Amino acid sequence: MSVPTPGPSTLDDAATPRAAANRWLVLAIVALAQLTVVLDGTIVNIALPQAQAELGMSDSDRSWVVTLYALTFGALLLLGGRIADFWGRKRSFLLGMGGFALASALGGIATSGEMLLVARGLQGAFAALLAPAALAILSVTFPGGKDRVRAFAVYGTIAGGGAAVGLLLGGVLTEYTSWHWCLLVNVPIAVVAIAVGIPVLRESRADGSTRYDVPGAVLVSLGLASVVYGFSRAEAGWIRPDTLGFLALGVVLLALFVLVESRADHPLLPLRIITNRARAGAYLSSIAVGAALLGALLYLTLHFQIVLGMGPLVSGLASLPMTAAIIVSAGFVSRLLPTVGPRVLMTAGPLIAAAGLLLLSRITVGGSYVLEVLPAQILLGIGLALVFVPLQNVALLGIAPRDSGVASAAVTATQQIGGSIGTAVFTALYTAGAGTLAGGAAGGLQSLVDGYSVVFLAAAIALALASPVSWFMINVPRDAFTTSNDAVHLG
């Protein structure tokens, strides 16, 4: 690492730390936005059975409610990040938050399956603008030092625990109101974020040329969409023509994107962002952890409701110990990060979380939640905190303010790709592990548990693979977290 003399600021004066007297309020607003985006990845899952019955949707249409959100979100992320850099992060944040609220309202009052699908697609599109703008605002508001570590600890906690909160909130709203409120709940959250954000957030944008890389934007959007859609189709079979075709098309388009970016004068995603060894390690870890976390939460919820017989609300409450473990551990991790550095934490974290998933792989039909599940959730939460807190820091460490939006989008894109991979792979493994349900209730439940166990074991392996990646690639010195981000250069 070298520490050059900082050049002229690329931010508006109002966005510098000296003028950001309300930056902890900024953190609260950004955290609220991140929670909204993360919640929508899981809160709708609880509401889907009710929505399908009321709107007369087919099973195929029901799956599209989840797929469309992931598709538009993942496909437009890098473009959304660059729009935030060039147009302004505050503007992009407010537009993304407002659009997300309107799309949520449209879905909440949906009277047909088609109306709900349109709303979910719009939610994903506005989330692709909102998420990178929010993370970029956080990065430029906290440019370095221990406050930056604390801020990203809060953000990482929400990224790791927000999905479980979504399951709880979805259970409460579904059980005591209706599925409509699983979408409408975003509206008051957005109103608060916008009302506070207008006077508090300060505008920041990239200096110099703001010409958009149109070929790069088209290629990466189509490429990411093709990959996400291909993995969503893999749930129905890996050797289907549409599955293989879309995955292959996505790989080709993303390869062309890299070629275009390497030759572009004003690339959408400067390759130096993703080819840096430490950042690349953080991105690879993000994919592995995102895949494993999604698989664990989805099938753990199914185990709660189908095997243990919990209702939506109790199932949501049963998911909270993991979130609590993340929150408690994140405070300790944020204090350890400047002392021990990210390498040790991001190496140990996946192994601890994998140990929790290994415990879950030993669940039984008549087993106790307290004995079989609770210890595993605590280990999983501790391990995830050790990963998520430093991961966001490393992924954005040394990024020039000009590129903070698109770099933030790249972090979120890895999580989306990981989630898509996890959904497809773990669904296939679950089907293979469960096999054909045996006759009778006991046989059926045993088959389900067998399938869940296979998923948890595979998720443990995926998490464990992130450990050597971190050890060999996250070569960031400890003092990088006690200096200004503008002064950090990762070699």
The string of pLDDT tens digits covering residues 403-426 is 889 999 998 888 888 887 887 788
Domain span including residue 341: 21-203+268-482
**Residue 485's pLDDT is what?**
57
Query: Does residue 250 sit in the same domain as residue 173?
Result: no
Residue 13 lies in a domain: no
pLDDT of residue 246: 94
Q: How would residue 380 be classed by pLDDT, with cut points 50, 70 and 90?
A: very high
What is the chain's percent helix, strand, coil content, to nearest 5? 80, 0, 20
pLDDT at 98: 97
Mean pLDDT for all residues in the chain: 85
Q: What is the pLDDT of residues 337-349, one digit of tens each?
A: 988 999 999 999 9
pLDDT band at 35 (very low <50, low <70, confident <90, very high): confident
* Dist. CA 77–CA 25, nearest whole Å: 25
Lookup result for tokens 């949707």: 57
Token pair for residue 319?
């998911």
- Residue 375 domain flag: yes
Show Cβ contacts of residue 195 under 8 Å, excluding neighbours closer than 6 positions: none
CA distance 268 to 320: 39
Residues 6+ apart with CB under 8 A from 384: 160, 161, 289, 293, 322, 326, 349, 353
Same-domain status, 232 and 189: no
Average pLDDT over residues 4-17: 40
**Within-domain flag for 466:** yes
Residue 238 vs residue 184, higher pLDDT: 184
Band (261; pLDDT cuts 50, 70, 90): very high
113 with 231, same domain: the answer is: no
Whether 333 maps to a domain, the answer reads yes
CB 360 within 8 A of CB 308: no
Length of the chain: 491
The lowest-confidence range among 104-113, 263-272, 482-491 is 482-491
Please list, in sequence order, all residues whose beta carbon lies within 8 angstroms of the beta carbon of residue 182, skipping any fewer than 6 positions away: 43, 44, 46, 47, 108, 169, 170, 173, 174
Q: What is the pLDDT of residues 68-106, one digit of tens each?
A: 888 899 889 999 999 999 999 999 999 999 999 999 999
* 456 and 429 in a common domain: yes
DSSP string, 195-223: HHHHHH-------S-----HHHHHHHHHH
Q: What average pLDDT does the segment 43-56 reach? A: 83
Are 385 and 406 part of one and the same domain? Answer: yes
Residue 141 lies in a domain: yes
The radius of gyration of the chain's CA atoms, rounded to the nearest angstrom, is 22
Q: Determine contact, residues 17/141, Cβ cutoff 8 Å.
A: yes
Position with higher pLDDT, 432 vs 202: 202
Nearest to 412 by CA among 290, 263, 302: 290
Task: Name the E strands within 107-263.
Answer: none
> Phi, psi (5° rounding) for residue 8?
-60, 145
Residues 253 and 347 in one domain: no
Q: Are residues 71 and 144 in the same domain?
A: yes
Last residue of a domain, one of 236, 251, 267: 267
Report the number of distinct structural domains present in the chain: 2
Here the tokens at position 274 are: 């993703």
pLDDT, tens only, 191-226: 999 999 999 999 998 877 778 999 999 999 999 889
Averaged pLDDT for residues 254-259: 96
Domain shared by 420 and 449, yes or no:
yes
The answer to whether the CB of 81 falls within 8 A of the CB of 132 is yes
Q: What is the pLDDT of residue 11?
A: 40
Burial 357-375 (b: 16+ CB within 10 A, else e): bbbbbebebeeebeebbee
User: Does residue 303 surpass a pLDDT of 80?
Assistant: yes
Query: Longest C-alpha distance within the chain, in Å?
Result: 72
Specify whether 66 is located in the same domain as 161: yes
- Among all chains, which residue has been given the structure tokens 């087993």? 367
Which has the closest alpha carbon to 391: 270, 295, 293? 293
149 — pLDDT class (breaks 50, 70, 90)? confident
Q: What is the CATH number of the domain that holds 421?
A: 1.20.1250.20
Q: How confident is the model at residue 328 (pLDDT cuts 50, 70, 90)?
A: very high
State whether 55 and 69 are in the same domain.
yes
Q: Does residue 98 form part of some domain? A: yes
Encode pLDDT of 445-466 as tens digits.
888 899 999 999 999 999 999 9
Do 273 and 262 share a domain, yes or no? Answer: no
Residue 163 lies in a domain: yes
The reported pLDDT for the residue numbered 443 is 55
In the numeric block, the tokens 């972090």 are attached to 411
- Candidates 298, 90, 46; CA nearest to 201 is 90
- Shared domain for 161 and 224, answered yes or no, is no
Answer yes or no: is 187 within a domain.
Answer: yes
